[in-house]
Amino acid sequence: MAALNTMFANGARRAAYGAAQAARVLWYTGHYAAGRRLMGPLTAPGDAPYAEEFGPLDRDRLKESFRALFRNDWKNIESGRYRLPPEMRALPSPGKLLKQSRDYLRDAEKVARRKAARGHSEVLTDAAREKYPRYYLQNFHYQTDGWLTAASAERYDMQVETLFTGAASAMRRAALPYIGDVLAGRDAAATRLLDLGSGAGGFLREVKHNWPALQVTALDLSPAYLGKARARLGRWKDIAYAQANAEDTGFADASFDIVTATYLFHELPSAARKTVAAEGARLLKPGGVFILVDTIQYGDEPGFDILLENFPRGFHEPYYDSYCRTDLADLFGQAGFEKRDETIAFLSKASVFERVA
Ligand SMILES: C[S@@+](CC[C@H](N)C(=O)[O-])C[C@H]1O[C@@H](n2cnc3c(N)ncnc32)[C@H](O)[C@@H]1O
């Protein structure tokens, strides 16, 4: 009887998970379609041809990979690797959803104008140049205000989830089992994790939701994004916040057990990527791990290579192509890491590197 009850309870949880994810996918897919109408095709007429290097998109495989992402997410939840995600525990109010929708669609028009004019340097001012590296001062994705304002930070999650039609949070969660592996048999309260380029705090919300005692530091160059993360993660009073460059964090040598970076590396020029990997090695204790989540790279899913080739054309992503060509084992190897594992999660990849040298 107890087994039957458990089966029913699990069936109900699974159905609730499926329904909630389907609703999210529908919501973000609708906004994706509306945004594409405003922004036009990825490659404007007269621009470079659609595919220069890679073959056609494998649409069937893309759909299957999207479904597999959620199947694996559920498997991880069901097997206790992580908890039901926070976005499913507290559903946003209709008022909040409408506000996000209106803001996203209004802003999409501005993004479309910026894209048409190739306007990606609005945030490059003399005042900003004194505070931030040059590569940082761009309107990545043709976003309004770059990384520099509260409005941009507020809008960020809606934009990212829309871009990935509701898959972004599940893709980030591919890193969680690796954090669970580190914590197995360890005291979370005595374990320190640093998240580089923590943005609006979406990933750390997943982390603290699962391991509330873990000692977590959020680091970002943007005071506005850190402010958003602080507001969002307010229920966990022990989180530390640092406004700093991931290339030079100012923390002591060997002061962390885990360093994470989700969707930071493809925003960095190649030299900065090397510096951040080296900084990660300096910050980690021997045996500590660097967990990276970022886009898949060329060859990971050959039928999707054309998507990677075209993405930086439609969205201002100056370092994306070079990231997709980077040998991560080599990049991290040069910094003193050995690659331990990786998981493909739809259009993202979670990779784990152990600090050995
Ligand atoms: C694409 S967002 C990713 C945010 C978040 N990790 C996520 O998963 O959504 C990149 C973030 O990295 C930050 N960033 C970019 N370059 C940085 C640097 N050199 N040092 C620290 N933060 C940086 C930006 O301010 C932004 O918040």
Other residues' Cβ atoms within 10 Å of the Cβ of residue 204: 24
User: What atom in ligand 1 is closest to the CA of residue 147?
Assistant: 25
Which atom of ligand 1 lies nearest, measured to the CA of 136? 16
What is the layout of strands, in order, in the sheet containing 256-262? 240-243, 215-220, 192-196, 256-262, 284-295, 348-355, 337-345
* Residue 289 DSSP SS3: strand
Closest CA to 353 of 261, 272, 268: 261
The segments of the chain whose pLDDT lies below 50 read: 49
C-beta of 107 in contact with ligand 1 (< 6 A)? no
Q: DSSP readout, 202-214?
A: HHHHHHHHH-TTS
Cβ–ligand 1 distance for 157 under 6 Å, the answer: no
257 lines ligand 1 (CB under 6 A): no
Q: Is 326 in the pocket of ligand 1 (CB under 6 A)?
A: no
Please choose, from the candidates 246, 244, 268, 273, the residue with its C-alpha nearest in 3D space to the C-alpha of residue 259.
Answer: 246
Q: What is the pLDDT of residue 138?
A: 85
CA distance 251 to 282: 9
35: domain range? 1-357
Counting from 1 in the atom list of ligand 1, the atom nearest the Cα of 157 is 9
Q: Calculate how far, in angstroms, residue 220's C-alpha sits from the geometric centre of ligand 1.
A: 6
Atom 27, ligand 1: which residue's CA is nearest? 199
Asked whether 204 lines ligand 1 (CB < 6 A), one says no
Q: Is 225 in the pocket of ligand 1 (CB under 6 A)?
A: yes
- Write the CATH number for 159: 3.40.50.150
Residue 285 CA to ligand 1 center (angstroms) comes to 23
Nearest ligand 1 atom to the CA of 266 is 1
Ligand 1, atom 4, residue with closest C-alpha:
199
Q: Indicate if ligand 1 lies below 6 Å from the C-beta of 320.
A: no
Distance CA 88, CA 298 (A): 33
Residues with Cβ < 8 Å from 67, sequence gap 6 or more?
Answer: none
pLDDT in tens, 206-254: 999 999 999 999 999 999 999 999 999 999 999 999 999 999 999 999 9
Q: Is 25 helix (H, G, I), strand (E, B) or coil?
A: helix
Tokens of 222: 């943007």
**Residue 279 near ligand 1, beta carbon < 6 Å:** no
Alpha-carbon distance of 211 to 148, in angstroms, equals 30
Q: Which of 171, 264, 293 to mutate to test the pocket of ligand 1 (most atoms within 8 A of CB)?
A: 264
Return the pLDDT at 314.
77
Spatial distance between the Cα atoms of 299 and 202, rounded to a whole number of angstroms: 28
Q: Give the type of residue at 162.
A: T
Residue nearest to atom 12 of ligand 1 (CA): 197
Ligand 1: residue of 267, 274, 316 to mutate (most ligand atoms within 8 A of CB) is 267
The response to whether residue 165 sits with its C-beta less than 6 Å from ligand 1 reads no
Q: How many domains does the chain have?
A: 1
- How many angstroms does the Cα of residue 200 sit away from the middle of ligand 1? 9
- Please state, in angstroms and rounded to a whole number, the distance separating the CA atoms of residues 215 and 242: 14
pTM score, whole prediction:
0.94
| Ligand 1 touching residue 262 (CB < 6 A) | yes
Closest protein CA for atom 8 of ligand 1: 262
Residue 244 is predicted with a pLDDT of 98
Q: Is 264 in the pocket of ligand 1 (CB under 6 A)?
A: yes
Cα–chain center distance at 280: 18
Angle at 28 between CA 23 and CA 313, to 5 degrees: 155
Closest atom of ligand 1 to 293 CA is: 8
CB of 132 shorter than 6 A to ligand 1: no
Report the alpha-carbon distance of residue 347 to residue 167 in Å, rounded.
9
Whole-number Å distance, alpha carbon 80 to ligand 1 midpoint, is 29
Say if CB 234 and CB 203 are below 8 A apart: no
Contact 203/233 with Cβ under 8 angstroms? Answer: no
